[in-house]
Amino acid sequence: MMHIVYMDNNATTKVDPQVVEEMIPYFMESYGNPSSMHILGGQAGIKLKEARVNVAGLIGAQPEEIIFTSCGTESDNTAIWAALKSNPGKKHIVTTRVEHPAIKNLAEYLAKNGYRVTFVPVDRKGRLDMDFFYESLTDDTAVVSVMWANNESGVIFPIEEIAPVLRDRGIVFHSDAVQAVGKLPVNVEKVEVDMLSLSGHKLHAPKGVGALYVRKRTKFSPFLMGGHQEKGRRGGTENVASIIGLGKAAQLALERHEEVNTRVRALRDRLEKELLERIPNSMVNGDQEMRLPNTTSIAFEYVEGEAILLMMNELGICASSGSACTSGSLEPSHVLRAMGVPFTAAHGSIRFSLSTYNTDQEVEFIIKKLPPVISRLREMSPFWADREGLANAVCSVQ
C-alpha cells in the first residue's frame, strides 16, 4: 500500500489512538445518559466532568465556563447569537475579511437582516489593519469576532492587544480559536476574551464535537434550546464518547505543545525553505513571523492549485489548495483575495499543514517529488508561457 503523507491538518486531523481508547468503553459499556440516576448514567457523568476539567485546563478556563457543542461552527454561531441577544439595543458587528465560513457566512446573513457589519481588511501579509479595526468600533457595537489564527495563511492576530480595549469599552469579544488551540499557548486567564471557540477534530479528537468557552461574567443565552444539559446553555443529550475523546485530546495537546513548536515547526520551516529554493516563482502567502508553527501556504505561480493537488494525490501527498473549487468557479479563496495575492499566485497556492505525526522522511519525500511536478505543469500551462503579460494582474479584492 502507498504511504500517505498527510499534510492537511488544518482541515482535520487523525484521531489519536489514545483518544480512541478512552472513548471505546462509552459506546457499549458505560453507555448511560449522563442525566440518568443509575450506575451507567453515573459512569458517563463522572467521565464527562473529567473531560470538562481537561478541556478547561487546556485554555486556562474554569470547568463551568466550558459548554460542549457539536463542532467549531456551532460554537461560533452560538457565540455571535448569544452576544446579539444579550445586547438587543446594539446593531453593529465587527469581524474580519478572512474569517472561517462559520463566522463569515453568519456575518453576511446578519448584514442582510438588520445588522451593520464591518469586515476589517488585512494587508498583503494577511495581517489585520489595526487602525481600521479600532476606528470601526462604536457605541452601537454589540460584538467583535476576530479569529485567533487563520486556517489558510496561518497568520496570528493580536488577540491579546485587542482584548483589554474591548473589555474597557464593554464590547463582547469572541475569538474563533479553532486553529490556535493546541498549537499556541491560548490562555483565557491572560487574554480576556469573553467567548472562544474550539473544535475537536482540529486537535486529534473526533469530528462532531467542539466547545465554547464563555467567561463567567459574560451574559449568555442558548442557541440550542432544549433540556437542562450544560446548565441549560445547550440542550441535547451530550455526545459522551466524543466529549471524552476531546478531553483526552486536550490533555495530549498540552503535553505536545512543546513538540509542535519545536520539531513540527522545524519540519514546516525546512519544507518551506527547500521548496522555495528548488522551485522558481514560488512565494509564501502571509506573514512568516506571526504564524502558526504548523502551516505554510505557498504560491507556485502560473499553475493551477487543483492540478498540483491531483498530481500530489497520485504520489500519496495530501494537502489543500487556496481556491474554492466547490463553487465550480475556481475562484481563489476569500482569504487570498482579501490579502490581495496576485491572480496568478492565488490560483497556484497550496497549503501544507503539519502535525506531530509528520516525519523528516515525509518532508524529504515532498521536497524531492514536488519540484518536477511543478515544472511539468508549467510546461503545459498557457499562463507560464504568457507570464510576462500576466505579472501585473491582481485579484479583485472582495
Ligand X SMILES: *Cc1c(COP(=O)(O)O)cnc(C)c1O
Q: Is residue 318 among the annotated active site residues?
A: no
Q: Least distance in Å: CB of 337 to ligand X?
A: 17
Q: Rule CB under 6 A: is residue 176 a binding residue for ligand X? A: yes
Q: Least distance in Å: CB of 12 to ligand X?
A: 8
Site residue total, ligand X (CB under 6 A):
16
Q: Rule CB under 6 A: is residue 78 a binding residue for ligand X? A: no
Q: For residue 308, which of 287, 327, 330, 292 has the smallest C-alpha distance?
A: 330
Binding range to ligand X, per CB under 6 A, among 117-125, 158-166, 171-179, 314-322: 171-179
Tell me which residues in 35-74 interact with ligand X (CB under 6 A): 71-73
Q: Rule CB under 6 A: is residue 210 a binding residue for ligand X? A: yes
**Closest-approach residue to ligand X (CB):** 72
Of 80, 178, 211, 309, which lies in the binding site for ligand X, with binding defined by CB under 6 A? 178
Binding range to ligand X, per CB under 6 A, among 15-23, 196-204, 221-229, 238-246: 196-204
Counting Cβ atoms within 10 Å, is residue 112 exposed (0-12), middle (13-18) or buried (19+)? exposed
Tell me which residues in 102-141 interact with ligand X (CB under 6 A): 102
On whether the CB atoms of residues 270 and 359 are closer than 8 A, the answer is no
Query: What order do you get walking across the sheet with 349-353 strand by strand?
Result: 282-284, 295-300, 349-353, 320-321
The cell for 133 is 479595526
Q: Give the residue carrying C-alpha cell 476539567.
A: 53
Q: Least distance in Å: CB of 205 to ligand X?
A: 10
Q: Least distance in Å: CB of 158 to ligand X?
A: 16
Nearer to ligand X, 155 or 395 (CB): 155
Q: Give the residue carrying C-alpha cell 483518544.
A: 19
Q: For 314-353, give one letter per residue: b (16+ CB within 10 A) or e.
A: ebebbbbbbbbeeeeeebbbbbbbbbbbbbbbbbbbbbbb
Query: How many residues comprise the chain?
Result: 398
Site residues (CB under 6 A) for ligand X? 10, 71-73, 76, 100, 102, 147, 151, 176, 178-179, 199, 201-202, 210
Active site residues: 325
